[in-house]
């Protein structure tokens, strides 16, 4: 009797293992006791990203292009802004074709960016600073938005590229062999641009 009770418990444990545990390892859906099916979803560790870095950099470059076009009219008005309403008015008056990209949705963010202690002094740096800060559209902080843009630019800069190219040359000095930096290795004579073709 004890043996049959023990055998029954083992059989039940094996049935439960087969019906619940094995489908989990195979990536199948799990059938719960009440008959519902619980789909398995791949779980990722850490916080979910709120923005795609490549999209953020593209938007920053677009904003920067917009700011370059209207900067002469916009900056005198923007430098006097003290509130989000003033920023909105400055963009509406000074950046008329591009103002809907920035205001009214980013007015509060932009006034914070303008008041940062690290705000640059040169016009091109200001344009990039504002564009990079506003690129995330408020999904992340302005500082994090600038950091993401910087990381994406550095990633593009570090991508594989040709450092030096060489040609096989015959020089008037008698040297025959590969050129170094478009010049003869022996006498330093440069390769004429007409020979590149």
Mean pLDDT per 10-residue interval, the chain, length 197 residues: 70 67 51 57 72 93 94 93 91 87 88 93 95 92 94 87 69 86 84 68
Give SS3 for 183.
Answer: strand
- Would you state the pLDDT for residue 172? 85
Q: Are residues 181 and 123 in the same domain?
A: no
Q: Are residues 97 and 180 in the same domain?
A: no
- Would you state the pLDDT for residue 119? 94
Q: Are residues 142 and 89 in the same domain?
A: yes
Q: Is residue 23 included in any domain, yes or no?
A: no
Q: Are residues 126 and 188 in the same domain?
A: no
User: What is the maximum span of the chain, computed from C-alpha positions, in angstroms?
Assistant: 106
Q: Are residues 96 and 169 in the same domain?
A: no
Q: Are residues 79 and 60 in the same domain?
A: yes
Q: Is residue 31 included in any domain, yes or no?
A: no
Residues 82, 89: Cα–Cα separation, whole Å: 11
Residues 124, 127: Cα–Cα separation, whole Å: 5
Q: Are residues 84 and 134 in the same domain?
A: yes
- Would you state the pLDDT for residue 116? 93
Q: Are residues 85 and 178 in the same domain?
A: no
- Would you state the pLDDT for residue 133? 94
pTM greater than 0.75: no
Q: Is residue 184 included in any domain, yes or no?
A: yes
- Would you state the pLDDT for residue 31? 54
Q: Are residues 185 and 143 in the same domain?
A: no
Q: Is 83 exposed, middle or buried (0-12, 13-18, 19+ CB in 10 A)?
A: exposed
Give SS3 for 189.
Answer: coil
Q: Are residues 61 and 91 in the same domain?
A: yes
- Would you state the pLDDT for residue 35? 57
How many folded domains does the chain comprise? 2
- Would you state the pLDDT for residue 48? 77
Q: Are residues 57 and 123 in the same domain?
A: yes
- Would you state the pLDDT for residue 30? 54
Q: Are residues 154 and 186 in the same domain?
A: no
Structural domain range at position 113:
53-158
How many angstroms separate the first and last alpha carbons of the chain? 96
Q: Is residue 65 included in any domain, yes or no?
A: yes
Q: Is residue 46 included in any domain, yes or no?
A: no
């Amino acid at each position: 009797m004890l043996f049959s009770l023990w055998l029954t418990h083992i059989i039940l444990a094996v049935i439960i293992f087969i019906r619940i545990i094995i489908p989990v390892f195979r990536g199948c859906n799990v059938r719960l006791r009440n008959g519902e099916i619980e789909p398995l979803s791949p779980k990722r560790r850490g916080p979910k990203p709120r923005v795609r870095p490549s999209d953020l950099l593209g938007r920053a470059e677009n904003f920067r292009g917009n700011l370059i076009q209207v900067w002469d009219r916009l900056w005198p008005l923007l430098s006097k802004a003290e509130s989000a309403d003033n920023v909105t008015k400055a963009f509406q008056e000074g950046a008329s074709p591009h103002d809907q990209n920035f205001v009214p949705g980013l007015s509060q963010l932009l006034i914070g960016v303008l008041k940062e202690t690290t705000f640059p002094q040169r016009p091109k740096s200001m344009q990039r600073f504002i564009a990079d800060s506003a690129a995330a559209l408020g999904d992340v902080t302005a500082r994090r938005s600038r950091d993401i843009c910087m990381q994406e630019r550095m990633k593009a800069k570090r991508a594989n590229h040709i450092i030096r190219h060489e040609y096989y040359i015959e020089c008037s000095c008698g040297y025959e062999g590969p050129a170094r930096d478009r010049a003869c290795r022996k006498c330093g004579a440069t390769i004429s641009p007409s020979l590149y073709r």
